[in-house]
Structure 1
């Protein structure tokens, strides 16, 4: 009886080639991640280093405050130089994070399509079995997801630091970076600037030109948004007698305007009768009895942030929609 041995020739066993390791990402997902791995690594490094730095600065701040006797000692008795240093540290880091969306738009959004147009990758990919719209959706989705994750994680860490400062955090949250960085505002702003950069790259078709245009337009848009920020909600109004002391409440809110008011509710500017020889008599003749302060309280911050985020998200959606509409009508 003979036995047949399969896979053996001339007494030597045949060895099958080792199977290639399976990739977790396939198709366009693998292509997009592979193509933009530098941006992915850069954002990951920025998140890790930024989060580590915020955690370090927060710990140093709390150690210093505890060494100064807080919270057993009331905040009013803490050294003023320490308070200024905390405010400066929070403002410096917040300003850096507020500029992050511009960087994401310039270095992530602008080269996303323009680089492919310059080196011919866009034409190569879209002549394969992948449709132009599907390729764009994957590219844009990757960039927006990366942008949102980067700004969102760093915004959460900054909010954690800002809340830890407690009574030492700046009261003027409306004009400080905390409004633009924390909550949904930072993520929505990054989505807008990244979408702006992507559309600029598709229209201008040159990477350097697209980056420069994105920097200018996004910077102007963020400055304009900061100027219109007080319009996101109506300020609250507090009236108190002219001769009375300034209410303590106004020391912990964002005062945007102050007036003189009559008993009937008529308002006069803060400089009314300031140059008169007898300001008090002048104001009395006008019937002025109150001082009026228009202000925003901290409980209005969340609603104003969501309103700003909604506006930036709508703009981002419009920019992405314009890109996809253009891609369907004509070749890149």
Structure 2
């Protein structure tokens, strides 16, 4: 593979590490309380402390769509900041507590000095390269075309999702994902359109990092990688399980494969633009990104363990930056 042709895409991949793993809906403003795509029944219920001596219990916040959002905090836990609330709203999950990735549990980040250096460098590259490219992409490419690109790459992740659903012991979900993949690949013209959603076939996203968590590897230290962004050590090992399942990485022509990977990276960064204002205004942007990412990741694994994947409901695509988006050499050539 021509390494020189790969360098621009490696720079763009590096820039994406400044962002969290979950693409936000482009149309969702920061003030929206809850992502409408997240099923209400999948969100963890708020913990309301007992009411003593007639004191009023804290009321649940009501989102703009009329759904209740958990706001009560456990005893002794600091309330999340406004930025954390907004970040959690875009992520569709509970707000990260000020103390760490889970209520009452500090983020396991023993490599924080190293991670902060990587994160700071990634932010510089993001503002210099990735954000301008994503801005130009959204201004030049019409919305319907961008939606088709997003649908296409989401459909390509189906083999990874199906395999991990089977490994987690969820054949029913794997059957739904297979049906969705076949419908969108045929009636959806290779995945550019999404007739499966209109047919109420659920959309889900799984990776091997989640499978390892479902198998029992629960606690894992946080690490920020130069190319893959927020991860845990568990998710780093999970990359090895996802690489052989990537359809893009099976393409032998370097120019075509790298071009698709570069387009996927630009598309992902454009979907993260809704988070830019929140990140820029955060007092500690690194801690905000880390805590929100860890909490959302733990939330995904808890849902896998509890089987909270209601049929007919769409789960938001919260996987980290997929391995098939990285313009790495194809060693099989």
Q: Same fold (TM over 0.5)?
A: no
The structure in which a higher percent of residues are strand is: 1
The structure in which a higher percent of residues are helix is: 1
